[in-house]
Amino acid sequence: IKEAIEGENVEVIYSTFDELPDHHKRVSEMVIERAKRLVEHKKDVMILLDSITRLARAYNLTVPPSGRTLSGGLDPAALHMPKRFFGAARNMREGGSLTILATALVDTGSKMDDVVYEEFKGTGNMELVLDRKLSERRVFPAIDIPKSGTRREDLLLSGEEQEAVDSMRRALNGMRAEEAVDNILNMFTRTKSNNELIQMVKKTKII
């Protein structure tokens, strides 16, 4: 990864799957503290975390037992630090910001993973849901469009863009992920810019 990612302001900090849970814990705490210090110096920092689920698993094996157990054998105390990590994201009035993009595992057959996902679901400003069937069909990006979205997208889009997005979401509502992606990709291939896409949405029924 270090060789693939180049840039003056990029750091790859890792803890491989064969490391002990204590090592995962220490690395994650080091990363978030370093990020906070950079933000205090008015830097804009972005952390890509893969994954919040595995981080919660590591804490579940290292925290002192709280005496309570959630579904799947997850100790509620194990979620405290992952929540603090994810909740550290913010935009400072004095300058500097911390953005955290974290992955979460779903449909693994593990009750613990489901509990972790439900704890973090809806807490972020954006959710991007990937679809295994699309990936198996080699359709990329393998995004479940109806389930994905950004909170307060009205702050990012113009009135005309927002109207087009709302129209597209209504048209895609109830569709399977494969159908939705096929329709969107078809529209992308027929247009060269966002403005052309908006005009197409206005003139057609999309589907």
Tens of pLDDT along 132-186? 888 888 888 888 888 888 888 888 889 889 988 888 888 888 788 888 888 888 8
Same domain, yes or no: 56 and 141:
no
Domain containing residue 16: 1-124
The dihedral built from the CA positions of residue 56, 15, 44 and 144, taken in this order, carries a sign that is: negative
CATH number of the domain bearing residue 26: 3.40.50.300
Tens of pLDDT along 74-130? 899 999 999 999 999 999 988 899 999 999 988 888 899 999 998 888 788 899 989
Same domain, yes or no: 100 and 187:
no
Same domain, yes or no: 103 and 138:
no
Domain end point (choices 63, 95, 124) = 124
Tens of pLDDT along 20-73? 999 999 999 999 999 999 999 999 999 999 989 999 999 999 998 888 888 888
Same domain, yes or no: 137 and 92:
no
Total number of domains in the chain: 2
Distance (Å, whole) CA 113 – CA 106: 7
Same domain, yes or no: 99 and 181:
no
Same domain, yes or no: 73 and 139:
no
Same domain, yes or no: 136 and 109:
no
Check whether 207 has a pLDDT greater than 70: no
Distance (Å, whole) CA 203 – CA 29: 52
What pLDDT does residue 98 have? 95
Query: 144 and 129 in contact (C-beta within 8 Å)?
Result: yes
Same domain, yes or no: 91 and 147:
no
Same domain, yes or no: 109 and 153:
no
